[in-house]
């Protein structure tokens, strides 16, 4: 009898152990729709919602995150200051947070301390690595500010014209069309120079975007539009200046940067004129004002500080969705899928494996992007290629956290240059591969359009 009890108990234990560990499909009906990033979701709907660390960081990782946060907010100054030195001699801003307010987006202005807009430039053609061809004396980014004794490369003047969109039901929306004038260049610009305005984007979920398997991203490519929905998508392969390899692009408004490390280091170099072990050259290299940095200590940003900021951005949590049970929000989610906005803004995917950060491993996430570049039509074209992305193509913007930009940043701005002041305006600017979805949106009733907008506000 004793033997029977032992065998029975062992069988029950084995069965229970198997039930706990056997992989199975989790029911969608039982999934909490608020969890934008699985266990890394942060429940905060305040103005600081975009700036929280992921839960569950070790004491050491939490400390590194905080150090990165401090450096991210630090104002840099010109040499020979003993601390946080190296600014310039030409630059666009003096700190990361000035462009990414509350870890969100920038302001679509130029030349001010709170400006988040910059202008990329290049010449027709490609460099030796397939990237944009630098403009002699200017490089590939226009720096519109300078330290004392130096000259900005140029100033950028932005003006707007009105455009009216009329829905089939008679509703009217006013759009604004930006125009950019490059003024007072420190030396002559070539007449065939290509310009592309870029607004600093929100930093939501960057660690996850780096951790999405390449195979997942490539599975979204529909070369030749085999399913006939008008959407193809293209992966942008870019040259990584640090590893000296051509790899998949994920970051940047044209998916023109491969890793968070390179993204952060290039922002320090190009936006602030600060060198690091990843980006060792001054942004002013080859210009007369390089004399001003003669004798400056290189690299200007020590390795640890750069690594702290990279880790900070990587470990920012993703805010939870709100009002997911609201009837209009649920109807908007259905309509969003029905008019195939989800053909580019992919709602759901699985993150990969990062051996250094368990919080982002194997999570069911909802970034609403495919990280591919798409033809968005002539109205949004900058006509400037960036590696494989042509002048009509832009990376699908991730939408998670987008409904909190108004709290984090005040008036939110959307699209690559901030021309859209609302979700509705952003949708109405869509063209190219998104033209069919935009037209279907316009054919909806006013109630249905508002339901889609309420759904976007819940993200």
pLDDT at 163: 97
Looking at the predicted structure, is the pLDDT value of residue 25 above 60? no
Of all residues in the chain, what percent carry a pLDDT higher than 90?
86
CB 404 within 8 A of CB 319: yes
- Least confident residue range of 1-5, 209-213, 225-229: 1-5
- Residue (of 234, 119, 247) closest to 179 by Cα position: 119
Helix, strand or coil, per DSSP, at residue 406: helix
pTM value?
0.92
pLDDT at 394: 98
- Band of pLDDT at residue 79, cut at 50, 70 and 90: confident
Average pLDDT of the chain, as a whole number: 92
Q: What is the pLDDT of residues 327-353, one digit of tens each?
A: 999 999 999 999 999 999 999 999 999
Q: What is the pLDDT of residues 125-170, one digit of tens each?
A: 999 999 999 999 999 999 999 999 899 999 999 999 999 999 999 9
User: Quick count: other Cβ atoms within 10 Å of Cβ 343?
Assistant: 23
Task: Please report how the helices 303-314 and 59-72 are oriented relative to each other, as an axis angle in degrees rounded to 10.
Answer: 110
- Listed by start position, the domains of the chain span 30-457
In the chain, % helix, strand, coil (3-state, to 5) comes to 35, 20, 50
Looking at the predicted structure, is the pLDDT value of residue 15 above 90? no
pLDDT at 27: 52
- Band of pLDDT at residue 31, cut at 50, 70 and 90: confident
To which residue do tokens 């508002």 refer? Answer: 450
- Residue (of 211, 423, 215) closest to 318 by Cα position: 211
Residues 6+ apart with CB under 8 A from 404: 45, 49, 50, 319
Residues 6+ apart with CB under 8 A from 303: 276, 277
Backbone angles phi, psi at 38, to 5 degrees: 60, -130
Residues 6+ apart with CB under 8 A from 451: 328, 329, 331, 332, 335
Compute the distance between CA of residue 214 and CA of residue 233 in angstroms, rounded to an integer: 14
Residues 6+ apart with CB under 8 A from 257: 238, 249, 250, 251, 263, 266
- Residue (of 416, 422, 335, 342) closest to 379 by Cα position: 416
pLDDT at 14: 32
Helix (H) or strand (E) holding 68: helix 59-72
- Least confident residue range of 96-110, 203-217, 420-434: 96-110
Looking at the predicted structure, is the pLDDT value of residue 184 above 50? yes
Compute the distance between CA of residue 308 and CA of residue 114 in angstroms, rounded to an integer: 23
């Amino acid at each position: 009898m004793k033997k029977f009890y032992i065998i029975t108990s062992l069988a029950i234990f084995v069965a229970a152990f198997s039930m706990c560990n056997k992989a199975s499909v989790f029911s969608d009906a039982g999934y909490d729709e608020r969890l934008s990033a699985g266990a890394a979701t942060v429940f905060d709907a305040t103005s600081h919602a975009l700036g929280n660390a992921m839960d569950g960081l070790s004491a050491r990782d939490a400390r590194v995150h905080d150090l990165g946060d401090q450096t991210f907010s630090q104002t840099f100054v010109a040499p020979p200051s003993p601390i946080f030195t190296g600014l310039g001699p030409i630059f666009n801003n003096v700190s990361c947070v000035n462009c990414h307010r509350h870890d969100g987006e920038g302001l679509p202005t130029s030349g001010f301390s709170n400006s988040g807009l910059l202008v990329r430039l290049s010449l027709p053609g490609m460099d030796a690595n397939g990237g944009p061809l630098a403009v002699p004396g200017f490089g590939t980014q226009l720096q519109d500010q300078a330290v004392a004794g130096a000259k900005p490369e140029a100033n950028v003047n932005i003006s707007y014209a009105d455009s009216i969109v009329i829905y089939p039901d008679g509703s009217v929306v006013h759009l604004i069309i930006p125009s950019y004038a490059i003024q007072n260049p420190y030396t002559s610009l070539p007449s065939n120079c290509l310009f592309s305005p870029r607004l600093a984007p929100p930093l939501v979920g960057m660690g996850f975007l780096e951790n999405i398997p390449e195979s997942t991203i490539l599975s979204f490519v529909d070369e030749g539009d085999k399913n006939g929905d008008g959407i193809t998508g293209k992966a942008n392969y870019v040259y990584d200046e640090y590893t000296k390899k051509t790899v998949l692009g994920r970051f940047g408004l044209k998916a023109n940067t491969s890793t968070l490390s390179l993204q952060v280091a290039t922002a320090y170099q190009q936006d602030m004129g600060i060198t690091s072990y990843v980006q060792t050259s001054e942004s002013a290299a080859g210009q007369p004002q390089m004399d001003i940095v003669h004798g400056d200590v290189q690299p200007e940003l020590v390795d640890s500080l750069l690594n702290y900021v990279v880790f900070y951005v990587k470990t920012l949590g993703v805010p939870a969705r709100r009002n997911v049970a609201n009837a209009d929000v649920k109807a908007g989610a259905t309509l969003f899928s029905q008019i195939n906005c989800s053909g580019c803004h992919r709602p759901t995917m699985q993150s990969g494996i990062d051996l250094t950060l368990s919080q982002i491993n194997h999570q069911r996430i909802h970034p609403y992007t495919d990280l591919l570049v798409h033809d968005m039509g002539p109205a949004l074209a900058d006509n400037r290629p960036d590696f494989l992305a042509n002048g009509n193509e832009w990376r699908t913007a991730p939408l998670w956290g987008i409904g909190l930009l108004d709290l984090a940043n005040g008036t939110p701005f959307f699209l690559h240059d901030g021309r859209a002041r609302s979700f509705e305006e952003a949708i109405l600017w869509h063209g190219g591969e998104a033209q069919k979805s935009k037209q279907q949106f316009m054919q909806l009733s006013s109630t249905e359009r508002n339901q889609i907008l309420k759904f976007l506000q819940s993200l």
